[in-house]
């Protein structure tokens, strides 16, 4: 399979090159030249398959041309050492819980898969590969833990100073080994800009092998399609569909998660409607309503992992549907919520159902509640464990109501090790060249 750039000003490349490069030389994002569809019969018996079995079938459609089947199976099963179950929250609204992995966030799936695929492609290559990743919260921890201790790979996590939770920060600043945390004096968009600029800097790329583990990398976002298929299978298994149409609500920041869902739909997954649930960073909501895309500086909110003012993966959505606003706005509906509304949603859902949403999942739940009809079943993505936002969530539902999982408690025991940098590229470049 060849991968082309969304900017279409460079030649297509192999999966190997797309994964190692991360970003195309014309600043575009890589896209597969073809999306292979499942026969409709696959979905009639999908509920008989396990999560790992489903993911392997999906992986063969996406990566099977480039990775031998036995190796691909090994990568998939090693990646998915945990489950992504669905839980009934209220009537026809279900939660797809994506927080059962090592760092309790949905990004464990893509980060772990990418780490294993990158290691496979590097093979016996002795040159160190440097992974640059910008994070607004969970990406940094998932990538850092996914790559921790992998020979030949060093990870640099760039995060905005003072704008991630203490628990999130502890998950990538206490690891050491081959992980370096860089505390950037700016917002997430500044971190993302540094990473993108680094890939296009000739001197840096001559002296260092660079790649990205953000969702701009095809090996990070495409495996996220696995759990959309699994959600459908588990809902079918529980009798939650029974002729009803499926609606999926996705808390959306950089839009890699929603893009993976759209790829699943293009592969034949029976999803009638996607919902992009935003916080006050409503750039894509505005596009869906008006057809105008106006990126701007992000604003800080309770749902910090969605604090993105210029979502990278939106370029993939535009490319996937030929820049057609009418098509995109038909497939995706948008909602956004203020901090005050998010607090209210978390409290109401907890009081009425006993289910505890994190601030991001709360946006997904409410969007479903407002959109769903009696002929539809809805599932929202609960993207991170609420304990990753303990201070925020306990201020809403009361202290003692957010138990700290043992995995998170262990991270909190470590000593913070980070390096402070400004948001200017020259300082960042100079730092990398001196490493």
User: Which residues are known catalytic residues?
Assistant: 107
Contact 36, 61 (CB under 8 A): yes
Give the Cα separation of 404 and 406 in Å (integer): 6
SS3 (DSSP) at 72: helix
- Taking only Cα atoms into account, the Rg of the chain, rounded to an integer number of angstroms, comes to 20
Give the Cα separation of 196 and 100 in Å (integer): 30
Nearest-10 crossing angle of helices 359-371, 339-353: 80
For the chain, helix, strand, coil in percent to 5 are 45, 15, 35
Structural tokens at position 369? 């509640």
Give the Cα separation of 235 and 46 in Å (integer): 10
Q: What is the 3-state secondary structure (H, E, C) of 14-54?
A: EHHHHHHHCCCCCCCCEEECCCCCCCHHHHHCHHHCCHHHH
Give the Cα separation of 246 and 37 in Å (integer): 18
Give the Cα separation of 172 and 341 in Å (integer): 30
Contacts of 60 (CB under 8 A, 6+ apart): 69, 72
């Amino acid at each position: 399979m060849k991968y082309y750039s969304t900017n279409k000003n460079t030649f297509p490349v192999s999966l190997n090159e797309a994964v190692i490069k991360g970003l195309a030389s014309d600043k575009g994002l890589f896209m597969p030249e073809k999306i292979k569809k499942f026969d409709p019969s696959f979905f009639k018996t999908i509920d008989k398959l396990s999560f790992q079995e489903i993911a392997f079938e999906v992986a063969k459609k996406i990566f099977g041309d480039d990775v031998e089947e036995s190796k691909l199976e090994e990568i998939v099963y090693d990646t998915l050492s945990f489950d992504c179950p669905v839980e009934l929250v209220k009537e026809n609204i279900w939660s797809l819980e994506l927080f059962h992995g090592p760092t309790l966030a949905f990004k464990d799936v893509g980060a772990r898969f990418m780490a294993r695929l990158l290691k496979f492609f590097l093979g016996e290559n002795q040159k160190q590969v440097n992974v640059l990743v910008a994070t607004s919260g969970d990406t940094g921890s998932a990538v850092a833990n996914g790559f921790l201790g992998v020979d030949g790979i060093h990870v640099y996590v760039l995060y905005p100073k003072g704008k991630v939770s203490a628990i999130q920060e502890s998950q990538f600043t206490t690891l050491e080994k081959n992980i370096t945390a860089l505390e950037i004096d700016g917002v997430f968009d500044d971190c993302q800009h540094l990473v993108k600029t680094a890939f296009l800097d000739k001197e840096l790329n001559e002296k260092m092998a660079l790649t990205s583990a953000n969702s701009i990398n095809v090996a990070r976002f495409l495996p996220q399609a696995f759990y959309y298929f699994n959600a459908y299978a588990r809902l079918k298994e529980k009798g939650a569909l029974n002729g009803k149409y499926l609606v999926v609500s996705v808390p959306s920041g950089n839009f890699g998660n929603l893009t993976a869902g759209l790829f699943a739909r293009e592969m034949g997954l029976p999803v009638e409607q996607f919902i992009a649930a935003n916080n006050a960073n409503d750039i894509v909501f505005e596009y869906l309503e008006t057809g105008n895309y106006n990126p701007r500086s992000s604003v800080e909110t309770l749902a910090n992992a969605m604090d993105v003012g210029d979502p990278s993966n939106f370029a993939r959505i535009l490319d996937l549907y030929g820049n057609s606003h009418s098509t995109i706005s038909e497939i995706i509906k948008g909602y956004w919520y203020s901090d005050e509304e998010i607090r209210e949603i978390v409290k109401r859902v907890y009081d009425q159902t006993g289910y505890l949403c994190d601030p991001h999942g709360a946006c997904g739940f409410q969007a479903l509640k407002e959109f769903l009809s009696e002929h539809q079943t809805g599932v929202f993505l609960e993207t991170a464990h609420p304990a990753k936002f303990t201070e925020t969530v306990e201020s809403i539902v009361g202290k003692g109501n957010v138990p700290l999982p043992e995995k998170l408690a262990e991270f909190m025991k470590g000593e913070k090790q980070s390096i402070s940098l400004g948001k200017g590229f020259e300082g960042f470049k100079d730092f990398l060249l001196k490493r």
